[in-house]
Amino acid sequence: MEGHKKCKDCNHKKPTKESKKTAVPVCHKLCGNLLLNDQVSNLEIWKEKINAQVIVSISVFNSTLSTGSIRILVNQNDKNSVEFIVPVGNTLSATVDHVDSITVFQINEGRIEGTFCLDICFLISD
């Protein structure tokens, strides 16, 4: 009788630890210039293109050369929108979760000049 051999195809499974999915935060910075006028009175500066919870910190500067205020509209997924107005010569910031899109609007006729910066963060699962 030959010696016993280990079975390679046996259905015996070693107990395994449940693997936990971890989420890794991914953040990007996006900055740009704003120029709104009578021909271009609003501009969508960011739109969500992934299926993830997104948190955005937005900062908008309205130049002293502008003739009016800038209205910022932050649309949220399944929530009310967040809106704020940046007067001439000022900077305002906000941090908003569940962001779907961000649009800037010219309030008065004339010319709006300024800058914006977005810190966009979302979680990616391993």
> Would you say residue 17 lies in a domain?
no
Q: Domain tally for the chain?
A: 1
pLDDT band at 4 (very low <50, low <70, confident <90, very high): low
User: How confident is the model over 36-78, as pLDDT tens digits?
Assistant: 999 999 999 999 887 788 999 999 999 999 999 999 999 998 7
Identify the pLDDT of residue 35.
97
pLDDT band at 18 (very low <50, low <70, confident <90, very high): low
Gap between the Cα atoms of 74 and 72, Å rounded: 7
What CATH number is given to the structural domain containing 76?
Answer: 2.60.120.1540
> Would you say residue 42 lies in a domain?
yes
Identify the pLDDT of residue 24.
86
Distance in Å from the first CA to the final CA of the chain: 51
Identify the pLDDT of residue 51.
79
- What's the predicted TM-score (pTM) here? 0.78
> Would you say residue 104 lies in a domain?
yes
Q: How many CA atoms lie within 13 A of 7 on its CB side?
A: 5
Quick check: 38 and 68 in contact, CB under 8 A?
Answer: no
> Would you say residue 61 lies in a domain?
yes
pLDDT band at 14 (very low <50, low <70, confident <90, very high): low
pLDDT band at 17 (very low <50, low <70, confident <90, very high): low
